[in-house]
Every structure is written in C-alpha cells, then in structure tokens.
Structure 1
Amino acid sequence: MYSVNYHRATSVADAVKKVKAGDGKFLAGGMTLIPAMKTRLAAPSDVVDLTHIAELKGIKVSGKTVTIGATTTHAEVANDEKLKKVCPALAGLASHIGDPAVRHRGTIGGSIANNDPAADYPSAMLALGATIVTNKRELPADKFFKGLFETALKDDEVITAVTFTAPAKAGYAKFPNPASRYAMTGVFAAKGKDGVRVAVTGAGDDGVFRSKEIEAALAKKFEATALEGVTVPAKNLMSDIHASAEYRANLVVVMARRAVAAANA
C-alpha cells in the first residue's frame, strides 16, 4: 500500500466536503477500491469512509416500493425478510456474491458506483428499472451505467440509495468464475407493469446491457421455453482467457432460461 489520508465522514455533506480536499475517493465496502489501490490502478490522495453514516444504511419496503441505503451490505440484502417477500430474486443475487467475508463487507452502493463489468448488482438495477439516488439527483439505471467501470456520477456525487418497484416476477442466474465468483455471464430477468426487462452482466465488452432479443421473446411468453431458438449476437461480447465471445453468447441464453425458470418457480 502507499501513503493515503483516511477520513471518517459523519454525514453525506461532510463526506463531499472531505473528498474535495484532494484527489479523493469515497470508500464503502472497499471490495474494488482497496485491491485497485494495492495494485496502483487507483492512487487517491484521500479516502473518505462512508460506512459510519447512518442515513446511508438500511432497507425499507413499503408495499411494492423498495429503498436500499447505499452502504447496506450484500449480507443484509440477502437476509432481509421483507425484501425476500417482495423481490426474492435480488436477495438471492446478493446471497451468491463472493464469499461470506465479501458479503459482510461489500455494499450495494459501492458495487453500483464502481460498475465492474462482471458485478451482479448492475444487471439487477437495469432489469428492475431502478432509480439511483445521489446527494444531488435521481438517475434511472438506464442512464446511470455508461460503460466499463464508468457511470454518470460526478466527482463530488455520492450514491445515497437505490429504489425500485418490485416486479411481479424476477429471477437471476449466473455462471460464476470458479475462483473469483464474479459472473462470467449473469442474467437478471424481470416482468413488471412496464413489461419485460432483461439485463446481462459479465459478458458485454462495454459492461452491463439489456438484451433486446431475449426481452422480445419473453414479452410474448414469460417462460423458459420461449427462448428456444433465440440467439444473442457475439459481436459486442467479451473474449478473454475464461471464455470467448461466442461461448458467452450461448451462456447469455442459457442463463436467461435459468433466470426465467427461477422467476416462475
């Protein structure tokens, strides 16, 4: 590790003030930032810890409306009983992130803010049509995620919560890397009042994206059998040491079938 100034923020306003003091970064769970700092991929002069800000914690469920504070951990999302009742797919997604140590430290806000192309939450936010709430504005997920590790967040902007309307049905399935547990391909499928939305993580060469081909098929019939014969183009998918673009194109459809089957279970 290298020299860095650590600050413990007491409020969102305090965090924004402290991050402006230098070339600062907000710290939530640190599951992405700390490894990046260790390898010098990130070298902030200041780190502002958000985890002690009470207003950023907790899960609220009011009818079908769900609001999750940015520093709520994966474990808390996975184990919240009210969330399990209205959107079990999101709780299930959180329960399979990393390992227990990661789930008890990593946060939903940190995951979304970093927008790792293989992270699980971005696909859920996109498929659920969630709204990302910051200290300055509210952004629909469709406009929030911009590309690999890129979002619409400004330097002095911090995520405070995410909110969405629980869909009638939703499911998530991923093919995890056996070492990291990150998704080599993950698909979140949701059927709500605005129709069917399907988002894919771990496969796109520009990060999370919605699959129009799968959405069109499921809009006719929200069942796994509706995806028989459906193909996803490999053109804009990722190729790496773990899988080719063509392999991931096939995985997208396979994971979509599993996600829909889970949604209908």
Structure 2
Amino acid sequence: MGCAQSRLRTRVDVRSLESIVQTGDLILFSSMHAASHVTKCFTASTWDHCGIIVKFSAKHVFILEYAGGVFLYPLFTRLYTYYAIQGREIVLRRLLPGQERGVMQRRIEKFVYSVLGNKPPSIEEIVVAVLKQESFITPIVSRLAGGTKKDDEVKDDLQTLFCSKLIAAAYKDIGLLGKHRKTSDFLPKHFSVQYDDYLDLQGGALLGPELPVSFDSVSAEVEKIKQTIAEDERQCASRPFHGSPRTYVRSRTRRHQMLLAHLISCSHSLISCMLHPWR
C-alpha cells in the first residue's frame, strides 16, 4: 500500500502551504549535502531532518526545528531557502490529533516556549539514538539499560535535543506518544509513513500521507539563487588562495553565507508579495 500511496501523492504548492497547515503537522526533509548522506546511510532512510508546524494565526505560521539549536522560523521563508540551497525533497504530513485543536494548540505553544534556546546534544546521544534502532543491538541496549516496561513512565532529558527528539518530545508532551516512550529513540524516518506502526500515536491521532511540497511556482527565484552561488563558486575556484586548507574552507563558508544572506534579503520583498498578495 505504501508504494501505491507514494505514486498517487498529491503535491502541495509551497505558496499555499500556510493556508492549509495546522499546528502539529510535520515537515520531513531529504537533503543533498554530505552530512545528510551519512544520516541516510546509518538510518537506512530517505529522510534526514524534520520539523513541526506551529500556527499562531493565519499570517503567523512557523516551523519549530532543531538546527544547531531550537529555532522557530517563518514557514515559507525556511522551506524556500532550504530547498534553494540543499533540498532534494520536502513533504508534509498533516496531523489529525484525536483531541480538541484549541487545547492542543495551547499545549504546543507552551512546549515551544519551554524548549527555545536549549543546547545541542552530545555526539554520544546522537550515536546511541541511531544504533538503538538497529535490530541486532536493540536487545543488548535494552538489557544494559535494565529494560523499560510499557506501563513505566519515562522522564526525558530535554536539556539536549536533536530534530527528531524535539518532535517526539512535542508529541509526547501533548499526549500523542505513550509515557513509556523515550524521545531519544526517534529518528527522522520514524515520522514517515513507513514507520507509522512504530510511532504508534495515541488517543485516536493519525498522520496523513506524505504530500510532496512543490516549488514550481517559485522555480525562477530558486534557479536564480542557485546560478548566482554557482557563479561565485566558479570565480573563487579560479583565484589563487594562499593559506591552509582549513582557512580556505572557512573563507568559502563565510563568503557563501554572506552571499546567501544578500540574495535572500534581495528577493524577500518579491517572495512576500507572491505569498501574501493581499498585503
């Protein structure tokens, strides 16, 4: 059913996304950068990043995610820039919460305020989160940890977070995950359709199919950014550089970031008009 479902998925235009999403919906990312390939290799999954929608009002729609820290970004701007620079595929999964939306909204907003600014996870925590999903090591880790019964409530350490742990913590906080579940056990792939049984949402909650986000309506802007960055890379490659390889990498990274910031700021007015023509 999963394969047939993926072939029939309806695409959602990025410009209309703000009008159809609700708080609690999920965004899954598949990236092109090198680090994402490592994540995909270790987790055997298409998805290497995830975020959760927080919609304060029709004009204030954000995505909560972990990206070197916990941040709340304007949804359209975040998806647009992510796709332009490193995105391969982005999908939406809409949440049917199984509870009154007003109550859920307040609980998620409270959760957001509690986690903003939390410090990053240790390497050990990330590695353990990955390894615990492999069938050959799960029994070993479980025995070493003394095991966890389904009825036992697990208290999670939310001082350190990564992207999928953040989503799991939000869902657990509003009662969509069982109290016995450990938020550090979740990876981005566990919020995909393939792992709905593993996710095991509570209280009648359901996540809808994976709906690809289409960027066709902003393709001209995206292509312009990509071409400008590519041209900058070509020019820099032809210039001699005196210094260590590390200094060279740092210099390229800073220049790339400055160029991107300039491009985004230049196109921001156009993007806003495209997204909110009534303003």
Give the structure-2-normalised TM-score.
0.25
Q: Which has the higher helix share?
A: 2
Larger relative contact order (CA 8 Å, sep ≥ 6): 2
Q: Which has the higher strand share?
A: 1
**Structure of higher CA gyration radius:** 2
